[in-house]
Amino acid sequence: MNPRGKWARRTFIGGGLVGAGAVVGQMVRRMQDPVPDPNRAEIPPDALTGYDVSEFEKTDPKLLLYRPDGGFETGFERVKRMAVGPDGSIWVAGDRSVRRFSPAGERLGEIELSRPPHSVRITGPDEMIVALGNFFEVYDLSGHRKLASPRLGENAFITSLAVRDRTVYLADGGSREVLLCDRGTGEITGRFGKKDQPPGAPGFVVPSPYFDLVIGPDSKLHVSNTGRLRVETYTLDGRFESSWGGPGMAIDRFCGCCNPVYLTLTPSGDVITSEKGLARVNVYGADGTFKGAVAGPETLVDDKELAKRACNDCRVGAGFDVALESRGSILALDPFRKTIRRFIPLPAHV
């Protein structure tokens, strides 16, 4: 079965928009994983009623570490992911291509693809990897294709990727696993992520096509376990080490059925997260300590009702991919406006 079909037919019904999304997401996770999770907060029985989310739709100015600083249009009808190259160029994956832009937004080139891309990473001074459903392709930055991997499984659906040495790490939302592939051949060399595989693994819960990973400066794999509403840390051979996060509507928690949908890391190890539904981009320390906000719903989303629906209906995609520029600014890929939006540090936090 095509995993996109599975996600398209999965509906989360609730009476309290954002609040109900957290409750129903909790129920889904319990059905997928009947073993009690000691890190999971209990939701009170009356959580479906009386929610007033208005207080969460505006960010306390004292928490803001960044401010908007313009951006540019991508020209795509549908945008998905982005990456920043070693020269500062910005690569945006959407429709059936990847476009290269200057930091100022001038289009520098385009690589046509055979199908819609779902992830893109610049993995070397002259190498880019693009995930295309159940396989990936490797290009040089001029657009020459160097490798097309084998199909990675009938239910594979690659939503994110990272590279270390000869291994490509792929977040497979279809199988709810991380796949390890040989960088030169594309063949699968390992996998992990099922519950207790390896022993102690909590298991990935992926209710919707959002499942992100990144390799940090600590040489660890940081994975967004969206259905558990937390970020998890693994060794590069797949051993679970730690997690942080949890359900909640407060700014330092993750709401809805599946968050954070995207993440990236700073050179110091801070984690920048992006949430759909109650759209937020925040900064956390490596240990999960909330540091401050990049942007909140009042800045990111004009159509608040559409955005809220994403918290209790996983068919509504509203995730802002995030990336870091070398000068410290944060880029957000706006799925509504189809634009790149830039946020720069406020003077007190430079």
Q: Residue 146 sits in a domain of what CATH number?
A: 2.120.10.30
Q: What total of structural domains would you count in the chain?
A: 1
Using alpha carbons only, give the angle 75, 68, 308 rounded to the nearest 5 degrees: 75
pLDDT of residue 349: 60
The answer to whether residue 47 sits within a structural domain is: no
CA 65/CA 266 separation, integer angstroms: 14
Half-sphere exposure of 180 (CA within 13 A, CB side): 14
pLDDT of residue 278: 86
Written as one letter, the residue type at 33 is D
The model's pTM: 0.85
Q: Domain residues for 233?
A: 3-39+59-349
pLDDT of residue 281: 98
Main-chain phi, psi angles of 76, to 5 degrees = -85, 155
pLDDT of residue 57: 79
The answer to whether residue 308 sits within a structural domain is: yes
In this prediction, the residues of the chain whose per-residue pLDDT falls under 50 are 3-4, 8-51
Nearest alpha carbon to residue 277 among 234, 239, 247, 242: 247
Q: What is the 3-state secondary structure (H, E, C) of the chain?
A: CCHHHHHHHCCCCCCCCHHHHHHHHHHHHHHHCCCCCCCCCCCCCCCCCCCCCHHHCCCCHHHECEEEEEEEECCCCCEEEEEECCCCCEEEEECCEEEEECCCCCEEEEEECCCCCCEEEEEECCEEEEECCCCEEEECCCCCEEEECCCCCCCCCEEEEEEECCEEEEEECCCCEEEEEECCCCCEEEEECCCCCCCCCCCCCCCCCCCCEEECCCCCEEEEEHHHCEEEEECCCCCEEEEEECECCCCCCECCCCCCCEEEECCCCCEEEEECCCCEEEEECCCCCEEEEEECHHHHCCCHHHHHHHHHCCCCCCCCEEEECCCCCEEEEECCCCEEEEEEECHHHC
CA 56/CA 275 separation, integer angstroms: 13
Token output for 205: 């819960």
Location of structure tokens 């189809």: 338
Give the tens place of pLDDT for each residue, 104-132: 999 999 999 999 999 999 999 999 999 99
pLDDT of residue 302: 83
CB-based burial, 19-46: b 16+ in 10 Å, e otherwise: bbbbbbbbebbeebbeeebeebeebeee
Token output for 96: 């059936």
CB contact at 8 A, 190 and 178:
no
The answer to whether residue 46 sits within a structural domain is: no
Dmax over CA atoms of the chain, in Å, equals 57
Token output for 88: 């500062």
Main-chain phi, psi angles of 311, to 5 degrees = -75, -30
The answer to whether residue 331 sits within a structural domain is: yes
Nearest alpha carbon to residue 256 among 312, 205, 320, 306: 312
pLDDT of residue 314: 61
Written as one letter, the residue type at 299 is T
pLDDT of residue 309: 67
pLDDT of residue 88: 96
The answer to whether residue 75 sits within a structural domain is: yes
The answer to whether residue 50 sits within a structural domain is: no
CB contact at 8 A, 291 and 65:
yes
CA 100/CA 109 separation, integer angstroms: 5
